[in-house]
Amino acid sequence: MATSAVPAAIDALLAILRAAPALADVDIIDGPPTGDMSAADIVAVGWQPDGEDAVSLVQEFAYAGARRRDEEFVISCWLESWTGDSDVASRRTRAFELLAVVEDALRASDAAPEAPTLGGAVLWAHLTAGTLRQVNTDQGVRVGVAFSVACRARI
């Protein structure tokens, strides 16, 4: 019996995002960046800049007898768009295009009916919160969205 659904949920979320055709040219990374962040667009699962928590979770007994537990957790994620220019509006538009693709990838469809359950890793998952960040650097404008994917599982 697993002590948490978090590892399987992160793996499944990464697989779903990497399989999304609209994210084919986006660097999908597991956790914090470990090297060059010069890719035009990135989506990081389990990491946010200046964030300390990759995932926050709570568990409770599902019912009397203590045989099963309900687990609720939030996966911290980040997406960013950058091209080296100074056009804030186009980077902001692109960041929200990426966010829409992430949200659509988590919705059930004929091609992916199990997407909201992350392929059965959780009972449900959905995008729940986001924060827009816009930074003008000496390398151009970077626009990012810190967002959260909330999940509920029975373990």
Residue 1 covered by a domain? no
Residue 71 covered by a domain? yes
**For range 132-151, the mean pLDDT:** 94
In CATH, what number is assigned to the domain containing residue 26?
Answer: 3.30.2000.10
CA atoms within 13 A on the CB side of 26: 28
Residue 73 covered by a domain? yes
83-117, pLDDT tens digit by residue?
A: 889 999 999 999 999 999 999 999 988 888 888 99
Give the total number of structural domains in the chain.
1
Query: What pLDDT was estimated at residue 106?
Result: 93
Query: What pLDDT was estimated at residue 139?
Result: 86
Structural domain harbouring 80: 6-154
Residue 60 covered by a domain? yes
Would residue 111 be called left, alpha or beta, if left means φ above 0 and alpha means ψ between -120 and 50 degrees? alpha
